């Protein structure tokens, strides 16, 4: 299939799955769309243009990074407190749940999964993995170059948006400038260091800081 066809199929699938997630937890959809907007804005300017002509796929992948939360109990998504160990064990299943949902879904024309970009499952699976492989990340066995490039980019923007969002029940938002400082501190541990340096050096989130 042509990149345009794959991008179109991916966007149709994204619309369908986000509609279901919106009925479950609208705040997760709002977050996902903010992440998708920023990732799609940044991706064309990355060194080497790794996704040239595939920005629709990149947008869809970022928009569906948290789709696994469709299977996460609402009581956990809305908890205004730290989760218990048992609750956290449920929460960390959402990357795998996201991959399963994407793999089972088809678009309205019943196109096979092969018509949908592999970036979607890659972003869902790897966006919480830590660059250094620390157990705070998950899935725990992913680290460094084993993490998909799309997941590495989504990871940075996901955390930036989570820190600055005003709809998180468990803590107040950080100022965007403070959130960028936290991203910088995560270089080499939570995030790919070269990608963090590029994001900071090129000011691709400056509009968010100035807003």
Q: How many Å apart are CA 57 and CA 43, to the nearest integer?
A: 11
Domains of the chain: 3-210 (1.10.3210.10)
Q: How many Å apart are CA 128 and CA 140, to the nearest integer?
A: 9
Q: How many Å apart are CA 15 and CA 151, to the nearest integer?
A: 20
Q: How many Å apart are CA 146 and CA 144, to the nearest integer?
A: 5
CA 145 to chain centre: 17
The pair phi, psi for residue 187, each rounded to 5°, is -65, 125
Q: Do residues 43 and 55 lie in contact, with contact meaning Cβ atoms separated by under 8 Å?
A: yes
| pLDDT for the residue 105 | 83
Verify cis geometry, omega within 30 degrees of 0, for the bond prior to 139: yes
| pLDDT for the residue 113 | 60
pLDDT in tens, the chain (211 residues): 787 888 998 999 999 999 999 999 999 999 999 999 999 999 999 998 899 999 999 999 999 999 999 999 999 999 988 999 999 999 999 999 999 999 888 644 445 566 789 999 999 999 999 999 998 899 878 999 999 999 999 999 999 999 998 877 777 889 999 999 999 999 999 999 999 999 999 887 877 765 5
What are 127's two structure tokens? 């966006």
Q: What is the pTM of this model?
A: 0.93
**Which residue in 148, 135, 145 sits closest to 65, CA to CA?**
148
């Amino acid at each position: 299939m042509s990149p345009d066809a794959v991008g179109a199929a991916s966007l149709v699938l994204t619309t369908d799955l986000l509609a279901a997630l919106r009925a479950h937890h609208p705040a997760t959809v709002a977050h996902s769309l903010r992440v998708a907007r920023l990732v799609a804005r940044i991706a064309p300017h990355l060194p080497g243009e790794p996704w040239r002509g595939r920005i629709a796929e990149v947008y869809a992948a970022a928009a569906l990074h948290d789709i696994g939360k469709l299977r996460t109990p609402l009581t956990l998504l809305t908890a205004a407190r730290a989760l218990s160990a048992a609750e956290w064990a449920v929460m960390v299943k959402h990357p795998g749940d996201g991959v399963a949902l994407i793999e089972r879904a088809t678009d309205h024309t019943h196109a096979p999964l092969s018509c949908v970009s592999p970036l979607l499952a890659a972003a869902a699976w790897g966006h919480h993995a830590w660059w250094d492989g620390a157990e705070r990340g998950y899935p725990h066995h992913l680290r460094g170059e084993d993490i998909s490039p799309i997941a590495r980019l989504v990871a940075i923007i996901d955390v930036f948006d989570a820190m600055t969002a005003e709809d998180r029940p468990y803590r107040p938002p950080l100022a965007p400038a403070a959130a960028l400082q936290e991203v910088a501190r995560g270089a080499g541990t939570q995030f790919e260091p070269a990608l963090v340096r590029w994001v900071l050096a090129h000011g691709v989130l400056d509009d968010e800081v100035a807003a």
